[in-house]
Amino acid sequence: MRILLSNDDGYLAPGIKTLFAALQAWQGQREVVMVAPDRNRSAASNSLTLENPLRIQQVAPNIYSVNGTPTDCVHLGINGAIDFQADMVISGINAGANMGDDVLYSGTVAAATEGRFLGKPAIAISLCGEHHFDSAAHWLIPILEQLERVPMEASTILNINVPDRPLEAIRGVRVTRLGRRHQSEPVVCDRDPRGLPIYWIGPAGDAADNAEGTDFHAVAQGYVSVTPLQIDLTHHRMLEHLQTWLTPL
Ligand code: MN
């Protein structure tokens, strides 16, 4: 298995470094190539850079940085910018959870999504904190081994969230659905040195739907959360109603 590894925190982030090392230690017959942003591009979602040229720089053996988004990185990594034929895409380990509504904004999930769009099995993995990246890397390996034994349906992206705990304090793994967050906190207003207002996007809201069965619930209980994602935004239940609603036209 040849793995393309990316993230949204940048190629120097501790999460991707931990995972790159863990995958190299595990790989055996497998090969791992990292193509990741040259800086933190968290919350970049699925953006592609179309107005500026992209540059790719090899910074170490099998490690490339790109002056673009996570989606750019996976796009370049798979579509011919480097001499590597990836079999799958892994994104992470993100510093911070990607649960519930987060997945719409997440660059971590977006990198996996791009892999999926380009025909590769894809996994996004996030640590719900910034300390125990080793725990997340440790739990990913058996999931990869299972994926090698039994491939996933082609349209599926696995979104994994790992509690920020030492390995021995993680209780197991749970299959989950996405929960939901409350609206994010208000924007934070400040003044620049010339007295003009500047704004910071406020922090994400707390969990609004953290019922049993959600990613929020599993992580709070100390379990690794694995959510199967699909990219079909069609509101299927509304199709018939909309047809009726539009009939007068
Ligand atoms: Mn991030």
Cα–Cα distance for residue pair 126/46, rounded to 1 Å? 17
Residues 90-116: tens digit of each pLDDT: 999 999 999 999 999 999 999 999 999
- For ligand 1, the distance from its centroid to the CA atom of residue 41, given in whole angstroms, is 7
What's the 80 CA to ligand 1 centre distance in angstroms?
A: 25
CA–centroid distance, 113 to ligand 1, in Å, is 15
| Interatomic CA distance for residues 92 and 158, integer angstroms | 12
Share of residues in the chain with pLDDT > 70 (%): 100
Residue 27 pLDDT greater than 90, yes or no:
no
126 Cα: distance to centroid of ligand 1 (angstroms): 8
Identify the three-state secondary structure at position 170.
coil
Gap from CA of 210 to ligand 1 centroid (Å): 22
pLDDT at res. 153: 85
**How confident is the model over 106-129, as a mean pLDDT?**
97
Of the two residues 59 and 152, the one the predictor is more confident about is 59
C-alpha 6 to ligand 1 mean position (Å): 11
Which residue segments constitute the domains of the chain, with CATH numbers given? Answer: 3-180+208-246 (3.40.1210.10)
Q: Say whether pLDDT at 30 is over 90.
A: no
- How confident is the model at residue 29, as a pLDDT? 67
Q: How far apart are CA 160 and CA 218, in angstroms?
A: 11
What span, in angstroms and rounded, lies between the C-alpha atoms of 1 and 116? 16
What is the distance between the alpha carbons of residues 201 and 166, in angstroms, rounded to a whole number?
A: 31
Residues 72-83: tens digit of each pLDDT: 999 999 999 999
Give the mean pLDDT of the chain.
96
pLDDT digit string, tens, across residues 49-77: 999 999 999 999 999 999 999 999 999 99
CA of 92 to the centre of ligand 1 (A): 8
Measure 107 CA to ligand 1 centroid, in angstroms.
Answer: 6
User: Ligand 1 centre from 171 Cα, in Å?
Assistant: 25
Better pLDDT: 172 or 154: 172
What are the residues whose beta carbon lies below 5 Å from ligand 1 (ion)?
Answer: 8-9, 42, 94
Predicted confidence (pLDDT) at residue 42 exceeds the cutoff of 80: yes
Give the pLDDT confidence score for residue 1 in this predicted structure: 86
CA 99 to ligand 1 center in whole angstroms: 12
Rg, C-alpha atoms of the chain: 19
Q: Structure pTM?
A: 0.95
